[in-house]
Amino acid sequence: QPWRVVPDFTHHAHSASLSAVAVNNRYVVTGSRDETIQIYDMRKKIEHGALLQHNGTITCLEFYGTAHLLSGAEDGLICIWNTKRWECLKSIKAHKGHVTSLSIHPSGKLALSVGTDKTLRTWNLVEGRSAFIKNLKQNAHIIKWSPDGERYVTVITNKVDIYKLDTASITGTITTERRVSSLRFITDSILAIAGDDEIVRFYSCDSQKCLCEFKAHENRIKDIYSFEREGQHVIVTASSDGYIKMWNLDLHKIEDPLSLLGEVDTKARLTCLAVWLDQVAEKQENSDKAAAASQANEDEKSLIVKKTEVCQADKSHKTAKRKRKITSEKQKLEVLLQKKKKKRNSSA
């Protein structure tokens, strides 16, 4: 039975193309070249407002649990947002150039970021400060933690370097023919990599060998996502050809071709992709998982309280005073965008 894909909620929110998207159990956030972040409440299926802290294209967005969002942009800033009141708890000048990618450790205590200043930076999220800086030979455009937090990978053009957390040294490198556009950890040791072509490849982080590959689209793949549902691994791909496709991956038969679960032609030039799962419905189906999730939420809260106190206590940081700039009134947003356009035109 093929999966049917139907549009559920469509909104034309940005005045430029989308550059980043992230989801948690309630919200979807989108970042754009128009320098804004838009928030959508998926339970109510409504637009929830906009975050206007950054100047420059939003390059990366990542939620940590239900309480926090991190955003990075071409202005070199990383902002830590509280998702209850949508206020900016802290704004960190993270890179001298653009922030190109960021990733939060599964514990929520650390984040990594890479930027166009050829550095990889480690952030202590409990105290909201820099912990370590590593110089890279070239600019990396992707960074990602493994699900167990034991390793992380950086991508420089067509080269994926695999690092071990305990030594912070490279344990292996995967080189592809084309520039890597996106990657995703399927397990702690299996990476799905999509390059500037039509093929998805699965690699072992331990041996750096290609386990299998398959042609997913007729044009280059822009983004790849994965999720697990009732023990089934689902890979989702989005391509410049406008198609979103969902594939069934059997990890026990990884060398077998993936079966197509469903597809949709969006008629759009896709740039990024995320999957929002209605976890409330899922939790009702499985009470055991719900109990485990609530325990995980309790663990998370204990860490977050510390984080919030530190961030709010740091009043010396001017940006902490710039409380939430959130509005769902279109006029305010449009006025701001008009000002930015005028400023750009006058400086040009």
Which residue in 271, 153, 257 sits closest to 211, CA to CA?
A: 257
For the entire predicted model, the pTM comes to: 0.81
Sign of CA pseudo-dihedral 135, 121, 179, 205: positive
Positive or negative: CA dihedral 162, 111, 52, 37 = positive
**Helix or strand or coil: residue 347?**
helix
Structure tokens at 312: 């709010």
Radius of gyration (C-alpha) of the chain in whole angstroms: 20
Q: How far is CA 284 from CA 25, 26, 279, 281, in A?
A: 14, 16, 9, 5
Q: Identify whether the C-beta of residue 216 lies closer than 8 Å to the C-beta of residue 199.
A: yes
| Cβ neighbours of residue 195 closer than 8 Å, sequence gap 6 or more | 158, 176, 177, 178, 179, 180, 181, 201, 220, 221
Place of tokens 């754009």: 32
pLDDT at residue number 231: 83
Q: What's the pLDDT score for residue 22?
A: 97
For domain 18-220, give the CATH number: 2.130.10.10
For the stretch 98-137, pLDDT in tens is: 999 999 999 999 999 999 999 999 999 988 899 999 999 9
Task: Give the pLDDT confidence score for residue 316 in this predicted structure.
Answer: 35
pLDDT at 303: 44
Q: What is the pLDDT along the chain (348 residues), one digit of tens a residue?
A: 789 888 888 888 899 999 999 999 999 999 999 999 999 999 999 999 999 999 999 999 999 989 999 999 999 999 999 999 999 999 999 999 999 999 999 999 999 999 999 999 999 998 889 999 999 999 999 999 999 999 999 999 999 999 999 888 999 999 999 999 999 999 999 999 998 999 999 999 999 999 999 999 999 999 999 999 888 899 999 999 999 999 999 999 988 889 999 999 999 999 999 999 887 655 555 554 444 444 445 444 434 324 333 333 333 333 333 333 443 444 545 555 666 566 656 655
Helices then strands (H, E): number in the chain? 4, 25
DSSP 37-101: EEEEETTTTEEEEEE---SS-EEEEEEETTTEEEEEETTSEEEEEETTTTEEEEEEE--SS-EEE
